[in-house]
Amino acid sequence: MLNRRAVLAAATAAAFAIPALPAFAGDVTLRFAHVVREGDPAFIAAEAFVERVGELSGGEIAVQVFPAGQLGNNRRLFAQIQSGAVDMTYTPFNMLSDIVPEFATITGGYMFESQVHQRRVLDDPEFGGAWAGKLLELGGLRILSSFHYGTRNVTTAETPVRSPEDLAGLKLRAVPNAMSLATVTGLGAAPTPVAWPETFQALRQGIVDGQENPIPVLHAAGFYEVQGYLIKTGHQMSALPFLIRETSWQELSPEHQAAVQEAASYAAGVAEETMITFTETLESDLIARGMTIIELTDEEIAVFRESVRANVAAEFDGTVLPGGLIGRIHALADGE
């Protein structure tokens, strides 16, 4: 169990750190690219990983970080880690479903009742454990750790929303993958794929009317400048994995593998603690910056849940995903 105070101190320090390239002049250099910006919990986790792996390896492992989409969007980074252009990245689980379709469930709309439920699925040998094994076998990619990356909510520029009908006709930026498109359609909006680095300008220019992301992510991206309403739909629980290319992993000595693994696990803890803390504290800042936050009633959320789950099941259950898998995942929430 991570010490909460130590983790929060590390997260706070990292939040104000200046992005660096290699932190250590080591014997081994790992290239780590991602799309998130300074202030984002995943950015802070990457910085924590760099520091921790340097400490654990006695400075023998250097990590060269390319943040904020310097080397391209998530889709390009996914191709680059497969080709060997980079050694490590965060690839969202919905993108990993290109290789292992079952991973689409990890970010499915209203798939999980809680963060504990999501973690239970990821850690279960029959579910997340087996899927990670397939990813290693079929894609040559190793999941070092993963972390809860917040709960997604809808924002709009000008439209207050309390039902799927209120989103009808609105273009909502969606992650360009089938599960996200199905989820946004279920919410009632018209899903419009936009690459993450291009999302702010798409919102500013009115190419899309809104988007959906966890509060710390949309805050770090500055969406309060171009969005007027935050609607707390809580429709998706995000999770993000630390990935390393298996070829890069096998080139490490056993001692260096242990250092990288431990550092990734530590950084995942930093990310989760930071996400929790930021989510709790940033709502008031969004209000101060002019956003109106709409709290939905249980009955209103139930309408969104029913619509999204029906749409996801219609498009995935028994086709993209094995029949009954979604129901089995829902059943793992028993005892929450």
205-215 residue pLDDT tens = 999 999 999 99
Does residue 278 carry a pLDDT above 70? yes
pLDDT band at 26 (very low <50, low <70, confident <90, very high): low
Tell me the pLDDT tens digit for each residue of 28-46.
Answer: 999 999 999 999 999 999 9
Q: At 334, is the pLDDT very low, low, confident or very high (cuts 50, 70, 90)?
A: confident
Indicate whether 259 pLDDT > 70: yes
Q: What is the mean pLDDT of residues 141-156?
A: 97
Reported as a single tens digit per residue, the pLDDT across 291-301 is 999 999 999 99
Does 23 score more than 50 pLDDT? no
- Please tell me the distance from the alpha carbon of residue 161 to that of residue 171, in angstroms, as a whole number: 13
327: how many CB neighbours lie within 10 A of its CB? 10
Q: At the top level of CATH, which class does the domain 4-331 belong to?
A: alpha beta
CB 178 within 8 A of CB 104: yes
Q: What is the mean pLDDT of residues 110-117?
A: 96
Within 8 A by CB and 6+ apart from 57, the residues are 24, 26, 28, 255, 256, 259
* CB of 229 closer than 8 Å to CB of 291: yes
pLDDT at residue 195, as a whole number: 86
Closest CA to 165 of 29, 303, 41: 303
Does pLDDT of 24 surpass 50? no
Strands (E), the chain: 28-33, 61-66, 88-90, 141-156, 171-174, 190-193, 210-213, 229-245, 292-294
Query: pTM (2 decimals)?
Result: 0.86
pLDDT value of residue 15: 39
pLDDT(22) > 80: no
Domain limits of the chain? 4-331
Please state, for a pLDDT cut of 90, what percent of the chain lies above it.
Answer: 88
